[in-house]
Amino acid sequence: MHKPILVANWKNHPDSLEQAKFILKGLSRKSAIYKKLGTFIAPPHTYFESVSKLSKNFSHLASQDISLEQKTCTSLVSVEILKSFGVRLAIIGHSERRALGESDETVSKKIKWVLRAGITPLLCVGEHEHDAEGEHLEFLQEELKNSLASLRRHDLLGKLMIAYEPIWAIGKRAKDAMQPNDLSHMVIFIRKVLSDLFGREVALKTPILYGGSVAPSNAEVLMSTGISGFLVGHESLDSKNFGEIAESLNK
């Protein structure tokens, strides 16, 4: 059975290295809790060295994205550089990247690329709205199918994570997160789609995380829905709140 998984997506925060070190110092106070989980921190590239050094005894380093460009190209960070820092996981297909025009086809290529590099892909999927007619289910099914196109069962078995992030619930208050009963149904649906595509074993062995207004006040009840953990955005920048979310996973 997998350990619960907790991924901190810092996005383009905090505003300075000193603030980043302050957050890491706060997180280190509860290092015993994070060691019981599969904990990952995905900071901006400029903070990689500090995060790698200051969190190595309780967390793994993650990347917020990867570059498909293999030749020399100004401003891009290669997979080889990511690996040199000890990156173990890469967030692929986040809704904010998709909003900038990233297609399912590009997401699929990135997943293949990180798998080839020995990095675990965390595939983000999620609908724009949760409608009563069930059209969101069709959207999610197509997003999963297209984002995993051309991949085979043995490529993914024990090597893939999925983050279900309903776009309508991201970046809001805890009360706006998906309701536990609805989330439970979505987890079952995602596993069914995976089973149809790659077989039951892949479906059962793929951790499914939830992201979307996760907070200390709702983390424990959300964990009762069959998810494997959380992908956390702004709350991961508050060491106290992030620690309380981690405690909920340990329960």
Q: Which of 94, 96, 127, 235 is catalytic?
A: 94
Specify burial of residue 112 (Cβ count, 10 A radius: 0-12, 13-18, 19+): middle
User: Are 197 and 148 a contacting pair, CB within 8 Å?
Assistant: yes
Alpha carbon distance 117, 67 (integer Å): 12
Alpha carbon distance 181, 172 (integer Å): 19
Output the six-digit token pair for 102: 């990233």
According to the 3-state scheme, what is the secondary structure of the chain? CCCCEEEEECCCCCCCHHHHHHHHHHHHCCHHHHHCCEEEEECCHHHHHHHHHHHCCCCEEEECCCCCCCCCCCCCCCHHHHHHCCEEEEEECCHHHHHCCCCHHHHHHHHHHHHHCCCEEEEEECCCCCCCCCHHHHHHHHHHHHHCCCCCHHHHCCCCEEEECCHHHCCCCHHHCCCHHHHHHHHHHHHHHHHHHHCHHHHHHCCEEECCCCCCCCHHHHHHHCCCEEEECHHHHCHHHHHHHHHHHHC
Active-site annotation holds for 185: no
Active-site annotation holds for 94: yes
Q: Which of 96, 127, 143, 165 is catalytic?
A: 165
Which residues are identified as catalytic? 94, 165
